[in-house]
Amino acid sequence: MAVIGKIRQRSGLLIFLIGASIVGFLVMDATNSQFSVLKGRKDSIGKVNGEKITYNDFTKKYEENVKTTEDQMRGQQAMTDDQRNNIRTQTWNQMVNDIIFNKIYDKLGINVTPDEMNELATGVNASPYIQQNGQFRNPQTGQFDPSLVRMYLSRLDQDPEGVEPGTVRRQWLNFENMLKQGQFQAKYSNLISKSFYVPSWMGEMTYNDQNRLVDFKYVQLPYSDVNDADVKVSDDDIKKFVDEHAARFKQDEETRKIDYVTFDIAASSGDSAKTVQYLEEKRAEFASGKTASDDSVFVKLYSETPFDAAYYEKDKVMAPASVKDSFFTVKVGTIVGPYVDNGSFKLAKISDRKLISDSVHVRDIAFSFAGITSQEQANVIFKQIDSIYKAIDSLHADFGQMAFNYSSDQASKMRGGDLGWVKRGEKEKGYNDLIFFHAQKGKVYKVPNQTENAIHLVQVIEDKPTVSAVLVSYLTKEIQPTPETERNIYSTATNFAADNQSDAKFKAAGEKLNMKTVNAVKKDAFDIAGLGSARDMIKWVFGAKKGDISPVYTVEKKHVVALLEVVRPKGLPDVDAVRDVVKPEVIREKKFDILSKKVTDAKAANIDELASKLAKSATEADKVSFARPALNGAFEPKVVATALVTAVGKLSQPVKGNGGVYVTQTIAIQEPVKSTDYSMYTYQLKQQLQNKARYAQDVEKKLASIDDNRFDFF
């Protein structure tokens, strides 16, 4: 009670301290959070020409694009992180393009009218994307039918059963927007390409340049005449070279060079032994199955690979050569293994063995679901299939007559559904497995065909089994590392990082562990070459300093430790960032100066005298043109161009060729035959220019002011 009394006496102080703590917490959160209450909410993903892209707008668009992709993938596997990352990048590019080009389109008066969109969707000359869609083709003729598009558009709000309401309309609106943007882009590109003009004199000049021939002699001093070790290259030399070739080396965005070492998260010998033990514990139960059906149930319950009901001949069996031969000699019911195959241990049970045919004679009644837009329509077809199946199977109705009356396969229905002899592998797997491995001659079977979007009634008329094949059931267990093994591998990676906390140590130790290098990691990338999806590691790379060693990251079943070796900032890089690339070129420049001085010092009057003084040979080149600038198989356009513009008999200045320093002496120039029509060359030049129009949008993006802050959010 005394303590409570003291607290009451100091209640004012207590309230003050609690209030101060709350304020301190808020201040701390405000100064560290993206959503600072003091600085104002930082919600800008980026800016394009001064226009902000907010976090909320970006996220909304991204989620819309994710939803669209999920609708398209319905029934497939779940979306991966890589797919989501790609959608995030596509969303950014889409929003940037909209901001840049919508203003350009408006300024240029480019528009896409509702009539154009209607023509693109339902016109005779509709977009190829629509014409190629199978549901808009007449099932009888196979030709595009605009009326099917109009019927589809009239039912946009009639979503199939089990599909989220609004899905069909949302899919169409997204597709329609894609068509519209495509029209805008096509009009813009056409506007650019049609603006090019090539005067006739350029065609004439091109004709003359390509057909003028020159005979000349030359002396070559190979760069290899000077040893690399005799050429000194300073940092100033490298910087000067970069400055002189700024357009080549200037970077539009910052990149970083990293070295990294990986430690595979792989199973140990002890882990392998535990996997084998698991299989041995299941062997007796696996062996107890009496039929292939029993084996299929067992595989479904315990195996990591599905049961395959197909029979395979020896060269088609997916198993190591060391065991597949035994599949064809042991008794049916025998279990072979365990053996290792693609990182897993397997027990293989020979569930059956028999002779199979290379081809079978089949007849078929097809029921197509192409163009079906509602469950009610599909139910009508299902009832028809059941009725015809019963008529043939139980009431012995004539198969050929039924095929003629009802089959949607226009070719085979005229032959009573007869497909002739079908070769193994020609049909979809389910269809193929039925007719070659499981069907009884004369019996009618229902089989779906996903590729054709159809259901078939199938009857095998005749077969000729001649090839031995086996039906194998596999109990598969992947060889996985145990948690203890993973901890040991992680510990090894951690020790490597701790023991090699310098550039030199990391590289020396990394060379023994197959160290890899990535020259240009980008800030907005999600993948690292050779590793896969590694966004957390990339964020470390761009938060680190040159020479830093990373903590251990786990990427695609590997533990990774990285060294940030080089930072290449936006704009011109520093000397260290380009030393390895530029140094060989600077060496060649210096070799050119050295070899050129030898030419000058020789003070030769003609090419033969120069060759003699330099202890080289003078080589003749006959009928060479700038269109084909080859010297003894070497590509040397500068040398040929020099010979073409140098006066006959005159010795040229030293030429910096690809293979060395050249000096030429022109012997004769043969002018091309005069022509009265240079239109072909004018046309070719115009085509070359027009082809560049497709890069106009890239140029516009390059000229735009784009601030990309995605790194701060993702």
- The per-residue pLDDT for range 353-376, each reduced to its tens digit, is 999 899 999 999 999 887 777 778
Overall average pLDDT of the 545-572 stretch = 92
Asked whether the predicted pLDDT for residue 473 surpasses 80, the reply is yes
Bridge partner list, 44: 54
663-681: b (≥16 Cβ within 10 Å) or e: bbbbbebeeeeeeeebeeb
Most confident range, picked from 65-69, 102-106, 375-379: 102-106
Q: Tell me whether residue 477 is in a domain.
A: no
Q: Tell me whether residue 685 is in a domain.
A: no
pLDDT at res. 258: 95
Overall average pLDDT of the 29-47 stretch = 54
Total number of domains in the chain: 6
Distance from the first to the final alpha carbon of the chain: 55
Q: Write phi, then psi, for 558 (nearest 5 degrees).
A: -140, 145
pLDDT at res. 3: 34
8 A C-beta contact, residue 220 and residue 524? no
Overall average pLDDT of the 190-209 stretch = 89
Q: Within this chain, do residues 365 and 352 fall inside the same structural domain, yes or no?
A: no
Overall average pLDDT of the 204-230 stretch = 93
Q: Within this chain, do residues 402 and 486 fall inside the same structural domain, yes or no?
A: no
pLDDT at res. 233: 93
pLDDT at res. 75: 62
Which of the four pLDDT bands, split at 50, 70 and 90, describes residue 512? very high
- Range with the poorest average pLDDT among 48-52, 266-270, 374-378: 374-378
Centroid of chain to Cα 82: 11
Residue that is last in its domain, among 571, 595, 611: 571
445-460, pLDDT tens digit by residue?
999 887 778 899 999 9
Q: Within this chain, do residues 343 and 364 fall inside the same structural domain, yes or no?
A: no
- Range with the poorest average pLDDT among 27-31, 285-289, 633-637, 704-708: 27-31
CB < 8 Å & 24+ apart, contacts of 341-344: 343/478, 343/479, 344/304, 344/305, 344/476, 344/477, 344/478, 344/479
Print the domain residue range for 527: 251-266+482-571
* Residue that wins the pLDDT comparison between 543 and 10: 543
Q: Tell me whether residue 75 is in a domain.
A: no
Q: Tell me whether residue 695 is in a domain.
A: no
- Range with the poorest average pLDDT among 183-187, 243-247, 372-376: 372-376
Residue that is last in its domain, among 356, 381, 396: 356
pLDDT at res. 609: 95
pLDDT at res. 11: 42
Q: Within this chain, do residues 374 and 341 fall inside the same structural domain, yes or no?
A: no
Bridge partner list, 582: none
Overall average pLDDT of the 655-679 stretch = 93
Asked whether the predicted pLDDT for residue 318 surpasses 60, the reply is yes
Q: How far is CA 622 from CA 361, 642, 674, 708, in A?
A: 68, 15, 21, 56
**Whole-angstrom distance, CA of residue 655 vs CA of residue 223:** 12
Q: Within this chain, do residues 414 and 351 fall inside the same structural domain, yes or no?
A: no
Overall average pLDDT of the 503-527 stretch = 92
- DSSP code, position 347: E
Q: What is the pTM for the complete model shown?
A: 0.63
Q: What is the CATH number of the domain that holds 415?
A: 3.10.50.40
Query: How much of the chain exceeds pLDDT 90, in percent?
Result: 50
Identify the CA nearest to 313 among candidates 367, 353, 280: 353
Q: Within this chain, do residues 433 and 387 fall inside the same structural domain, yes or no?
A: yes
Mean pLDDT of the residues in the chain: 87
Q: Within this chain, do residues 424 and 348 fall inside the same structural domain, yes or no?
A: no
The edge-to-edge listing of strands for the beta sheet with 516-522 is 516-522, 255-264, 558-568, 553-554
Q: Tell me whether residue 518 is in a domain.
A: yes
Q: Tell me whether residue 89 is in a domain.
A: no
Q: Within this chain, do residues 412 and 385 fall inside the same structural domain, yes or no?
A: yes
pLDDT at res. 502: 93
Q: Within this chain, do residues 346 and 380 fall inside the same structural domain, yes or no?
A: no
Q: Tell me whether residue 49 is in a domain.
A: no
Q: What is the CATH number of the domain that holds 224?
A: 3.10.50
Reported residue count of the chain is 714
Q: Write phi, then psi, for 570 (nearest 5 degrees).
A: -60, 140
pLDDT at res. 39: 38
**Whole-angstrom distance, CA of residue 287 vs CA of residue 93:** 58
Q: Within this chain, do residues 331 and 294 fall inside the same structural domain, yes or no?
A: yes
pLDDT at res. 34: 41
Which of the four pLDDT bands, split at 50, 70 and 90, describes residue 83? confident
Q: Write phi, then psi, for 139 (nearest 5 degrees).
A: -65, -20
Q: Within this chain, do residues 364 and 459 fall inside the same structural domain, yes or no?
A: yes
Q: Tell me whether residue 219 is in a domain.
A: yes
Asked whether the predicted pLDDT for residue 24 surpasses 70, the reply is no
113-170, pLDDT tens digit by residue?
999 888 888 888 888 888 888 788 887 777 888 888 888 888 888 877 777 788 888 8
Q: Within this chain, do residues 315 and 282 fall inside the same structural domain, yes or no?
A: yes
Residue that is last in its domain, among 524, 554, 571: 571
Overall average pLDDT of the 667-683 stretch = 91
Asked whether the predicted pLDDT for residue 648 surpasses 80, the reply is yes
Q: Under 8 Å CB-to-CB from 284, ≥6 apart: which residues? A: none
A 10 A CB-CB count for 570 gives: 12
pLDDT at res. 285: 94
When computed from its CA atoms, the radius of gyration of the chain, rounded to whole angstroms, is: 37
A 10 A CB-CB count for 226 gives: 21
